[in-house]
Amino acid sequence: MKWRVLGIALVLAAVLLFPRVAGTYPVKLLQEILIWGIFAMSLDLLMGYAGMVSFGHSAFFGVGGYVAALALTHWGANAASGLLVPAVAAALAALVIGYFSIRVSGVYFIMLTLAFSQMFYAVTFQVAWLGAEDGIVGVPRPRLPGVDLNRTGVFHVYVAAFALATSLVLWRIVRSPFGHVLRGIHDNEARMQAVGYAVNRYKLLAFVIAGTLAGVAGALYTQFVGSITPEAFLWRTSGEALLMVIIGGTGTLLGGLLGAGAFILLQSLVSSYTERWMLLLGLTFILFVLFAPGGIVGAIRGRIGLRA
């Protein structure tokens, strides 16, 4: 246990000190990895722990992103606009979408969550006051007391803090009684019902928590880039998060961050050597699904000999 804490502290330190040693581009890459890592970890709560494979998680990423963009632009660039309001909006969206989606499972759950996120895509794509195809641009970063988020180094700590906080929150949730119930539901939903659990309520709560965190990721993304487009809602965005979770390791939480890292590094680094990063990504993903269902984390654990 002490080694794990030490390891995490080291990684955290490395992440925080990264801007001192690296140029702007790698630092931005790391920030993108951290933000997507939050998104992927939130999906892992749903997929890896509750066993709900959603193809519409981008809905909440997008809601967080768009609400942040609107709020920061029109209601003042502060923490409430940039984080609180988007998180609440994402939570509400997750409550509504989750309420309906929970009623179905398996393939139908995939189709329904997909349909919902595509609805958001369609609306933001076609509606003029949301920027239509071009989305919303020129979004300022929140003004926090005593802190200037427009400086890369400062924004870096800000993003890293959120990634850390999300990891900790999810880590606690997964180990909590609630987390254990989710695992029971994943393993045998019917028996959980038969012994008396109101399974739908737990699933909905998991959905809302995951959606809220995805919304936070979306809000951070808007702040990172300074804009948001309908593509945030696209099913391919959901798919990318799915890829990250699986490559990193479903049901490991940390896998979300690792998977995001693998994906984004592949996309950026590999694409500077060869144009075929998509092919490599697809093949990697296929190989992982076929031969390494535990993802990167599973592979590492196997090497060190720890139980999954």
Partner 1 sequence: MLVSDLLAQALNGLSYGVLLFLLSVGLTLIFGMLDIVNLAHGSFYMLGAYAGLATVAATGNFWLALLAAPLAVGLIGAAMERAVLRPLYRRPPLDQVLLTFGFIYVFEDVVKSIWGGTIRSIAPPDVFAGSVRIFGGAFPSYRLFVIAFGLVMAVVLWLVIERTRLGAIIRAGVYDAEMTSGMGIDIHRVFTGVFAAGAALGGLSGVIAGPIQSAQPPMGAAILIPALIVVVVGGLGSLKGSLVGSLLIGQAEVWGKVWLPNISMAMIYFVMAAVVLLRPQGLFGRPLK
Partner 2 sequence: MTALLELDGLTRYFGALGALNGVSLHLAPRERRAIIGPNGAGKTTLFNVITGHLAPSHGRVLFDGRDITGLPPHRVAQHGIARSFQRTNLFPRLTVLENLRLAAAADGRGSYSLFGSVARLTAPLARAREVAEAVGLAERLGDEVGRLSYGEQRQLEVGVALATRPQLLLLDEPTAGMSPEETQRMTRLLAAVPREVTILIIEHDMDVVFSLADRISVLHYGEVLVDGTPDAVRTDPRVYEVYLGGRDDA
Cβ-count burial of 163 within 10 angstroms (0-12 exposed, 13-18 middle, 19+ buried)? buried
Q: Show contacts with partner 1 in window 56-115 (CB under 8 A).
A: 100, 103-104, 106-108, 110-112, 114-115
286 binds, among partner 1, partner 2, none (CB under 5 to 8 A by kind): partner 1
- Pattern of binders to partner 1 over 158-197, x per CB under 8 A? ----------------------------------------
Q: Which long-range contacts (CB under 8 A, 24 or more apart) does 122-130 make?
A: 124/62, 124/66, 124/230, 124/233, 125/230, 130/66
151 binds, among partner 1, partner 2, none (CB under 5 to 8 A by kind): none
- Rounded to the nearest whole angstrom, what is the least distance from the CB of residue 286 to partner 1 in the complex? 4
Q: What are phi and psi of 276, to 5 degrees?
A: -90, 35
Question: In which region does residue 228 sit, left (phi positive, over 0), alpha (psi from -120 to 50) or beta (all else)?
Answer: beta
Residue appearing with tokens 């768009």: 66
Q: What is the dihedral of CA 149, 120, 130, 86, to 10 degrees?
A: -30
- Rounded to the nearest whole angstrom, what is the least distance from the CB of residue 184 to partner 2 in the complex? 5
Q: Which of 239, 241, 215 is nearest to 228 (CA)?
A: 215
- Pattern of binders to partner 2 over 64-103, x per CB under 8 A? ----------------------------------------
- Rounded to the nearest whole angstrom, what is the least distance from the CB of residue 156 to partner 2 in the complex? 28
Q: Does 173 bind partner 2 (CB under 8 A)?
A: yes
Q: Are 254 and 300 in contact (CB under 8 A)?
A: no
Q: Does 302 bind partner 2 (CB under 8 A)?
A: no
103 binds, among partner 1, partner 2, none (CB under 5 to 8 A by kind): partner 1
d(CA 297, CA 288): 11
Q: What distances in angstroms separate CA 9 from CA 164, 174, 241, 286, one per listed residue?
A: 11, 21, 26, 33
Q: Does 177 bind partner 2 (CB under 8 A)?
A: yes
Structure token digits, residue 36: 């997507």
Q: Show contacts with partner 1 in window 126-155 (CB under 8 A).
A: 126-127
Closer residue to partner 2 in complex, CB, 157/292 = 292
CB atoms within 10 A of CB 108: 11
Q: Does 145 bind partner 2 (CB under 8 A)?
A: no
Nearest 5 degrees, angle CA 139-CA 263-CA 72? Answer: 10
Q: Please, which residues bridge with residue 144 across strands? A: 147
Q: Which of 17, 161, 165, 279 binds partner 1 (CB under 8 A)?
A: 279
Q: Does 1 bind partner 2 (CB under 8 A)?
A: no
108 binds, among partner 1, partner 2, none (CB under 5 to 8 A by kind): partner 1
Q: Does 116 bind partner 1 (CB under 8 A)?
A: yes
Q: Does 191 bind partner 2 (CB under 8 A)?
A: yes
Q: Are 91 and 148 in contact (CB under 8 A)?
A: no
Give the interface with partner 1 as residue ranges (CB under 8 A): 53, 100, 103-104, 106-108, 110-112, 114-116, 118-119, 121-123, 125-127, 235-236, 239, 242-243, 246, 275-279, 281-283, 285-286, 289-290, 293
Give the interface with partner 2 as residue ranges (CB under 8 A): 172-173, 175-178, 180-181, 183-184, 187-188, 190-199, 202, 205, 209
